[in-house]
Structure 1
Amino acid sequence: MDQLAAMATFVRVVDAGSLSAAARSLPSSLTSVSRQISALEEHFGTSLLLRTTRHLALTDDGRILYERAKSILGELREVETTLSRGCHAPSGRIRISAPTLIGRLLIAPLLAEFLRRYPLLTVDLLLVDRAVDMVEEDIHLALRVGHLPDSQLVARKLADLRMIVCASPAYLQRRGVPQIPADLSHHDCLVFSDAPDIAEWRFKEGVKAERRIRISGRLWVNSLDAVVSAAKEGAGIIRVPSWQIEADIADGALQPILVEFEPTPAPLQLLFQPSRLTSPKSRVFVDYLVERWRAANPFGVHAIARSKQ
């Protein structure tokens, strides 16, 4: 069995919705297409497709193979394109995910220059405030805030992000200034979240320990910009990244509180699938991002690590 050819046929079957439609588009015979799918299932020792007279669906194993096969075949096409042009410049599509605010303010403005530098590359930028499934969603690089749980992914730390608790001077004058984290239970808290629930804010307790304080928010918003705007108008207390509100604190629109209880900064990490760690297109994007962020110092830190060649 030509495994690459069989995987290409399998992807075509899934995209077309049936074996017969895939056979017509290849073009190939229905018997040949069916034989290749059966050979793949025998090779992997599992069923890949659920077939009925009117419907075709992926099994769980079939979905895994479909996503990985699409990625592998895409990478192969990019290699073929590069070699056929007789050049070694990075080429193809690079798919990146990032938290919405970081992506909008700190990545999107850098992409015009990146695309000018690398004219054979195209970029898909996915801005979502959730942990993406890099395999299923075909993500090459993902920026994520926080520590990475046990995973097959490879992480590179880019910066440390401080989380600041603050409110407008008008609110604090009206309601008083919290002296300890537990005082927040008597205040109006504004929470950044996709769904109203019980939130927890982390605070330092002692030298190394941390404590989580439950917050029952009066306002829940799935936009950091909107949360900050509401706080500046005196709606309540927020907990947001320090880099986002640096100017608001400088001009007095917001006032930091509970500073002595500020927890350890959260790492901003760039995640790779191990198979894509050495991809030229991934490497040049990481190098470019680090270069520009080191120059601009957007997070108020000066220790963004240099890229490893």
Structure 2
Amino acid sequence: MDQLAAMAAFVRAVESGSLSAAARALPSSLTSVSRQISALEEHFGTRLLLRTTRQLALTDDGRILYERAKSILGEVREIEAALSRDPLQPSGRIRVSSPGLIGRLVIAPLLVEFLRRYPALSVDLLLVDRAVDMVEEDIHLAIRIGRLRDSQLIARKLTDLQMIVCASPDYMARRGTPRTPDDLAGHDCLVFSDSPGSAEWRFADGSKTGRKIRISGRLWMNSLDALVNAAREGAGIVRVPSWQVQSELADGRLTRLLIDHEPAPTPLQLMLQPSRLASPKIRAFVDYLVEQWGKIDALRTPFAGG
């Protein structure tokens, strides 16, 4: 059995929804596709697909193989590209994920020059405020806020982000000014998270990890831009990266609170799978982003973390 060919047939069948559609797309015969998938099931000793007359369904083992096979086939394509093409002219498509705000304000503007510099490359930029599954979602590079949790990934630090708490002078005139993190329990807090409900804000307490305060916000949103607008209008206290509100702090529309209790800066990191390091297109993007980020910090623009 040609395992790569069998995995390709299996992945195509899952994505197209039927063996006959997979056969047409490959192209191959229906008999050949069926035999390849049966050979995979025999090789691994488990059922991969549940087949009916109308559709295919993955078993639990089949889902594991599907996710890994997609990654393996993608790596093989990258190896072929690396060996057959001019390394000075990388080509192909790069899938990048980033938190929404950083992606819009920082990453997206940098892509114009990158695409101009590498005319044979294309970029998919996915803006999501969650940690993506890089294998399952076929993401080549992910920009994440926070420390590395998945030891299987490689991290390249870009900068530090300082999270701060702030509110408008109008809000503080009406509700007072919190002096300690515990005072937040008596205030209107504006919460950013992936899903509605309470959140935890971290503050310094002399320990290495700091102290978490549970926040029950009166207003929840999954958009930091919208929360900052609400804070400017006096809706409550917001927790954001300092660079996002630099202009509001400078002109007095927002006031920085609990400065003595601010946690240590949080790293902003570029994550990738070790197997991607050999890809010319991935190396080109990583080198470009690190180069441009260095210029941003050197110019002391609002994107710096301080």
TM norm structure 2: 0.91
- 1:65-86 Cα deviation digits (max 9, x unpaired): 3233334334444555566666
| AA at the equivalent of 2:266 | A
**Corresponding residue pairs, total:** 302
Match of 2:114 in 1: 114
Match of 2:200 in 1: 200
Identity %: 74
- 1:116-152 Cα deviation digits (max 9, x unpaired): 1111111000000011111000000011111222442
Question: Does structure 1 residue 65 correspond to structure 2 residue 69?
Answer: no
CA contact (8 A) 1:164 1:239 kept: yes
Kindly tell me: are residues 179 and 85 of structure 1, through their superposed partners in 2, closer, same or farther at Cα, counting changes over 3 Å? closer
Match of 1:307 in 2: none
Q: CA RMSD in A?
A: 2.0
CA contact (8 A) 1:155 1:272 kept: yes
1:135 partner SS: coil
Match of 1:168 in 2: 168
- 1:241-292 Cα deviation digits (max 9, x unpaired): 0110111111111110100000111111111112113322111111111111
CA contact (8 A) 1:227 1:238 kept: yes
- 1:72-111 Cα deviation digits (max 9, x unpaired): 3344445555666666521111100000000000000111
| AA at the equivalent of 1:37 | I
How far, CA to CA, are the matches of 2:85 and 2:286 in structure 1?
Answer: 24
- Displacement of 1:189 after TM fit? 0.8
1:146-185 correspondence runs (5 A): 146-185=146-185
How far, CA to CA, are the matches of 2:238 and 2:14 in structure 1?
Answer: 47
| AA at the equivalent of 1:248 | E
- Displacement of 1:225 after TM fit? 0.4
Range with greater deviation from structure 2 (141-150 or 231-240)? 141-150
2:179 partner SS: coil
How far, CA to CA, are the matches of 1:153 and 1:81 in structure 2?
Answer: 23
- 1:158-213 Cα deviation digits (max 9, x unpaired): 21111010111121122211111111111111111232212111111136462111
Kindly tell me: are residues 22 and 264 of structure 1, through their superposed partners in 2, closer, same or farther at Cα, counting changes over 3 Å? same
Question: Does structure 1 residue 190 correspond to structure 2 residue 190?
Answer: yes
Question: Does structure 1 residue 266 correspond to structure 2 residue 266?
Answer: yes
Match of 1:305 in 2: none
Range with greater deviation from structure 2 (150-159 or 77-86)? 77-86
1:98-137 correspondence runs (5 A): 98-137=98-137
| AA at the equivalent of 1:113 | E
Question: Does structure 1 residue 282 correspond to structure 2 residue 282?
Answer: yes
CA contact (8 A) 1:159 1:299 kept: no
| AA at the equivalent of 2:32 | S
Kindly tell me: are residues 178 and 145 of structure 1, through their superposed partners in 2, closer, same or farther at Cα, counting changes over 3 Å? same
**Runs (5+) with no aligned partner, structure 1:** 303-309
How far, CA to CA, are the matches of 1:164 and 1:9 in structure 2?
Answer: 51
Range with greater deviation from structure 2 (68-77 or 179-188)? 68-77
CA contact (8 A) 2:160 2:304 kept: no
1:198-237 correspondence runs (5 A): 198-206=198-206, 208=208, 210-237=210-237
How far, CA to CA, are the matches of 2:275 and 2:87 in structure 1?
Answer: 22
Match of 1:243 in 2: 243
Kindly tell me: are residues 188 and 118 of structure 1, through their superposed partners in 2, closer, same or farther at Cα, counting changes over 3 Å? same
| AA at the equivalent of 2:264 | T
Match of 1:300 in 2: 304
Match of 1:36 in 2: 36
Match of 2:22 in 1: 22
CA contact (8 A) 1:82 1:89 kept: no
Kindly tell me: are residues 24 and 231 of structure 1, through their superposed partners in 2, closer, same or farther at Cα, counting changes over 3 Å? closer
| AA at the equivalent of 1:300 | A
